Amino acid sequence: MRPLSFDIFCRVVDNYGDIGVCWRLARQLSGMAGVADLRLWVDDLATFARIAPGVRTGLAIQHIDAEPSQGLLGQDRQPRSVEIRHWTPHAPLPEAHDIVVEAFACDPPADFIESMVRRDSLWINLEYLSAEDWVASCHAQPSLQRNGLRKAFFFPGFTPGTGGLLREADLLIERDRWQADPATRATLLARLALPDTDIDALVSGGARQILLFCYPDAPAQALVDALNTQQRASVMLVPSGVCPGLARGRHANVTVRDIPFLDQAGFDRLLWTSDLNCVRGEDSLIRALWAGRPLLWHIYSQQDLAHMTKLQAWLDLSPFGNPVRQAMTCWNSADGRGFSAALESALHPSAWQAWQAASASWSQQLAEQTDLATSLLAFCAQANARQKR
């Protein structure tokens, strides 16, 4: 079968999740044997550059390294690059590729759709992540288009019958190798420009490393309060600009520090070295699951509390015990008092051990599912083969 070429369209609505998911998908697909050319169209290069520092904001077309993470990855990496197109109203539009992925219903330009008709491209709408039951029944369903184009909805998901989760080949092996080498952690912490006292506390003083990546309404002070009930000190790492209402510096036994944004590979490594990962949205949740460490999810809020139904569906699938579920429900309801009490219970030594074990085994279990990029490529290859018959 001939390799397939891809266009991926990404509109940054807000935050980093739209480009986070598309960049990860583009990088993974571009390294796969069944994929020929790949273009990633992005309307907001400034946001993209925060998670991929190689991106230049003034360029209409550029090729950037798919796996940068300066100094943190092994030397045996083959450099791979991805073609980035700045998607503006006047961007020149080449002929469409075999497969056109629009992320989160972002609407490719009308002239480009005409080119898709000429090419008979397969049109994929990559949907948002949800653990709700209905996802499997809607996944991969065709949607007939008046212009004759074949279009399908592709849903990521946690269960068989969905498109799966983004996970690079050998990610967990790489994670285990990284976690087994303490020197790598020290290199990463040094890159965050933390004071030596914090690095010592984390590397040799037994302090708990907490990553705090949440939306502004998370009861972050209650997290600090709960950690302060513990004998073990904590160092909380907060990506710059996140949770501006939380004072930086010492809060008794908890130290809160700003850290710079990392590229995605560096961010993964930060998750792999933290004891508790507070993550948000869509992509950082999945990466924290692959870290196999305790996590607190701050879900992206939606109208009419639709996000609480999504959160419950995900908690129902999870192997977590009651205090953890309760903590996550309160974290997402801005219920600081309820959150502190639940988290204190979840940090009790036996509950903490159970949380750690459940996190590690869920990660392993989810990794048995086919990953999203592999499922997507297989789906596209099959659809194209059927079309040719």
DSSP, collapsed to helix, strand or coil, labels residue 239 as strand
Closer residue to ligand TRH, CB minimum distance, 278 or 341: 278
The set of catalytic residues is 18, 282
CA distance 173 to 60: 37
The pair of structure tokens assigned to 331 is 């974290």
Expressed in percent and rounded to 5, the helix, strand and coil fractions of the chain are: 40, 20, 40
CA distance 280 to 288: 10
CA distance 313 to 306: 11
CA distance 46 to 59: 11
- Report the nearest approach of ligand TRH to the CB of residue 18 (Å): 5
Question: How is 40-54 classified by DSSP, letter by letter?
Answer: EEES-HHHHHHH-TT
- Report the nearest approach of ligand TRH to the CB of residue 285 (Å): 6
Question: How is 118-140 classified by DSSP, letter by letter?
Answer: HHT-EEEEEPPP---THHHHHTT
- Parallel, antiparallel, or unpaired for β 81-86 and 61-65? antiparallel
- Report the nearest approach of ligand TRH to the CB of residue 86 (Å): 19
- Report the nearest approach of ligand TRH to the CB of residue 131 (Å): 13
Residue nearest to ligand TRH (CB): 17
- Report the nearest approach of ligand TRH to the CB of residue 279 (Å): 6
- Report the nearest approach of ligand TRH to the CB of residue 265 (Å): 8
Closer residue to ligand TRH, CB minimum distance, 283 or 371: 283
Residues of the shown chain interacting with ligand TRH in the complex, contacts defined by CB under 6 A? 13-18, 20, 51, 213, 239, 261-264, 267, 280-284, 300
Angle made by CA atoms 149, 26, 20, in degrees to the nearest 5: 110
- Report the nearest approach of ligand TRH to the CB of residue 193 (Å): 13
Closer residue to ligand TRH, CB minimum distance, 258 or 344: 258
Instruction: Taking each helix axis as running N to C, give the angle between helix 306-317 and helix 322-331, from 0 to 180 degrees, rounded to the nearest 10.
Output: 160
Instruction: Taking each helix axis as running N to C, give the angle between helix 17-30 and helix 372-388, from 0 to 180 degrees, rounded to the nearest 10.
Output: 60
- Parallel, antiparallel, or unpaired for β 234-239 and 208-212? parallel
DSSP, collapsed to helix, strand or coil, labels residue 188 as helix
- Parallel, antiparallel, or unpaired for β 234-239 and 122-126? unpaired
Alpha helix segments (H runs only) across the chain: 17-30, 45-51, 110-119, 134-138, 171-180, 182-191, 196-203, 220-228, 264-273, 283-291, 306-317, 322-331, 336-347, 349-366, 372-388
Closer residue to ligand TRH, CB minimum distance, 246 or 262: 262
